[in-house]
């Protein structure tokens, strides 16, 4: 009787072992293998890459052999700009097209375990970057309850504009801050000062403070750029009346 029970237990253990082995071989969890650099005993080859054109953030695949799977040992540059390396299977490298890679030359470098470059390759075919127009919000918001906006100063996330109409770029001679002067609303309800460095917006003056009636345009004098000239038709429907506002 004991022999039969022992034989039954033994058969169950064999069955469990078979099931566990089958699961690991047929879709069970297999831990990822650690990344490895290229094999120094084998040559590193580059064959091609694709696609050869696209916009920023396009995924490019570089084909070849013995790249290794350690992406910290792989460098790729497009137009001299480093491209993010997404992954490597050893025979295929996946990268993402970076910004400002207009020049188009594709250069790949493979390093050894010590970080020394052991293979550099420049492809003959240039990558053609498609420049797409992208429109984003720099600053300003709309009141979600009233769906309107007014003149509110502060950080970029909190400010409001009525209707930005004319822009002039400048650089503060004292601080070096990059600044945009903005006529807010046609005719100018206010002159806004957008500080790109500090990411803040302030109001230089309101319409009534400047003694103007209907501002049409503005520009800095040259070459000093120390005076901002404002074109005001003074309510007469012409562009001949000008006000000089130095050092605003």
C-alpha–C-alpha distance, residues 185 and 207, integer Å: 10
CATH of domain 45-129: 2.60.40.10
Interval 50-70 mean pLDDT:
95
The mean pLDDT value of the chain amounts to: 83
- pLDDT, position 28: 58
C-alpha closest to that of 107 among 123, 94, 95: 123
Q: How confident is the model at residue 236 (pLDDT cuts 50, 70, 90)?
A: low
What pairs with residue 53 in β-bridges? Answer: 128
The 10s digit of each residue's pLDDT in 39-59 is 999 999 999 999 999 998 999
Q: Are 128 and 52 a contacting pair, CB within 8 Å?
A: yes
Q: How far apart are the first and last CA of the chain?
A: 104
User: Is residue 63 helix, strand or coil?
Assistant: strand
Q: Say what the pLDDT of residue 93 is.
A: 97
Rounded CA gap, 78 and 101, in Å? 6
Residue 179: per-residue pLDDT: 94
pLDDT tens digits for range 195-222: 999 999 999 988 878 777 788 888 888 7
> Of 28-42, 78-92, 113-127, which range is least confident?
28-42
Predicted pLDDT of residue 2: 45
Percentage of the chain with pLDDT > 70?
Answer: 81
**Domain chopping of the chain, boundaries:** 45-129, 154-246
Chain centroid to Cα 29, Å, comes to: 36
Q: What is the biggest distance separating any 2 CA atoms in the chain, rounded to whole angstroms?
A: 117
* 71-76 long-range Cβ contacts below 8 angstroms, 24+ apart: 71/35, 72/35, 73/37, 73/38, 73/110, 73/111, 73/112, 73/113, 73/115, 74/108, 74/109, 74/110, 74/111, 75/108, 75/109, 75/111, 75/117, 76/106, 76/107, 76/108, 76/109
Identify the sign of the CA torsion 237, 238, 241, 243.
Answer: positive
């Amino acid at each position: 009787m004991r022999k039969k029970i022992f034989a039954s237990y033994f058969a169950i253990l064999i069955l469990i072992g078979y099931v566990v082995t089958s699961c690991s071989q047929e879709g069970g969890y297999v831990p990822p293998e650690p990344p490895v650099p290229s094999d120094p005993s084998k040559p590193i080859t580059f064959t091609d890459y694709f696609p050869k054109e696209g916009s920023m953030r396009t995924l490019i695949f570089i084909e070849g052999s013995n790249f290794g799977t350690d992406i910290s040992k792989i460098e790729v540059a497009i137009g001299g700009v480093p491209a993010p390396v997404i992954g490597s299977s050893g025979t295929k490298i996946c990268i993402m097209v970076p910004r400002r890679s207009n020049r188009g030359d594709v250069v790949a470098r493979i390093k050894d375990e010590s970080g020394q470059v052991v293979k550099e390759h420049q492809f003959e075919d240039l990558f053609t970057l498609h420049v797409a127009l992208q429109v984003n919000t720099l600053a300003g918001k709309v009141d979600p309850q009233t769906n309107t906006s007014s003149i509110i100063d502060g950080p970029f996330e909190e400010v409001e504009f009525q209707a930005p109409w004319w822009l002039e770029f400048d650089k503060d001679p004292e601080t070096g801050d990059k600044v945009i002067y903005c006529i807010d609303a046609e005719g100018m309800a206010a002159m806004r000062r957008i500080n790109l460095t500090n990411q803040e917006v302030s109001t230089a003056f309101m319409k009534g403070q400047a003694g103007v009636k209907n501002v049409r345009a503005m520009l800095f004098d040259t070459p000093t750029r120390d005076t901002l000239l404002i074109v005001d038709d003074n309510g007469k429907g012409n562009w001949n009346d000008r006000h000089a506002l130095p050092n605003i």
